[in-house]
Amino acid sequence: MSDATVPDELALFFEHSPIALALASPADDNPLVLVNSGFRDLTGYPSSDVVGQNCRMLQGDADNAEARAKLRAFLANDAMANVRTLIVNFKKDGTPFVNLLYMSRLRSLRGDTRYIFASQFDASRAQPELLQAYDRDLGSTLSKLTPLAAESGIIVEGSLTAIANSATTIAQARLTLSDLDDSSFL
Ligand SMILES: Cc1cc2nc3c(=O)[nH]c(=O)nc-3n(C[C@H](O)[C@H](O)[C@H](O)COP(=O)(O)O)c2cc1C
């Protein structure tokens, strides 16, 4: 059903986007088919470590029960346009961070999901202004992607709901990170 090969012009666009991006197959256990330079810089993982894996590998032993339930609800519900959640992740070197994860779908003209689209942002070490800038970058990435993807017969779904209160989101992420620092993770 799904074609794991990402069209060249989309792969190029992803690679040069200023933010962390990933694409996964809708089939099986959602193996990653592409991660860009922003993802590799953020997580420290080269593509060869993560492509073919489910991205939950970034969660290590973190519980993340609430966040994972939200992500699973999105994946299970085709009518849900997108999802946004904070989730505890670890870089390749073991450094924990609180990932503000955005997920939506890229569909074929027939309406079936070609790829799950995702973007990641470290909200635990950012200032509110940086989160706002990221949100703008994600919004403009999605709007630039829309006509480009259309050329390959792919529809970009899920208009971005901007983070309403970036200071609150940052505060929440920092609190989660400091709770982690006090726990047995480190
Ligand atoms: C394209 C894509 C990117 C994802 N990126 C991340 C990520 O950066 N960090 C993370 O913790 N989970 C990420 N996920 C979510 C997990 O892969 C998984 O869907 C989530 O943990 C819920 O399922 P589970 O409870 O079976 O693990 C991503 C999923 C997809 C499809």
pLDDT per residue over 153-184, tens digit each? 999 997 787 888 899 999 999 999 998 877 75
How many other C-beta atoms are found inside a 10 Å radius of the C-beta of residue 175? 12
86 Cβ below 6 A of ligand 1: no
Measured from the Cα of 115, ligand 1's closest atom is: 1
Contact indicator for 119, 125 with CB cutoff of 8 Å = no
Indicate whether residue 123 lines ligand 1 (CB < 6 A): no
Torsion, Cα of 97, 13, 149, 72 (10° steps): -10
- What's the chain's average pLDDT? 93
Residue 147 has pLDDT above 60, yes or no: yes
Tokens of 139: 């919004």
Alpha-carbon distance of 53 to 32, in angstroms, equals 6
pTM (global) more than 0.85? yes
pLDDT value at position 3? Answer: 54
Atom of ligand 1 nearest to the CA of 30: 31
Residue-level pLDDT at 185: 53
116 strand-pairing partners: 24, 105
Could you tell me how many residues make up the chain?
186
User: Sign of the CA dihedral 168, 57, 84, 140?
Assistant: positive
Nearest atom in ligand 1 to 23's CA: 1
Is residue 37 scored above 50 in pLDDT? yes
Task: Tell whether ligand 1 has an atom less than 6 A from the beta carbon of residue 33.
Answer: no
> Above 50 in pLDDT, residue 2?
no
Confidence of residue 100 (pLDDT cuts 50, 70, 90): very high
At 96, the pLDDT band (50, 70, 90 cuts) reads very high
CB of 25 within 6 A of ligand 1: the answer is no
What is the pLDDT confidence band of residue 1, given thresholds at 50, 70 and 90? very low
Asked if residue 30 has its Cβ within 6 Å of ligand 1, the reply is yes
Asked if pLDDT for residue 36 goes beyond 50, the answer is yes
CA of 118 to the centre of ligand 1 (A): 9
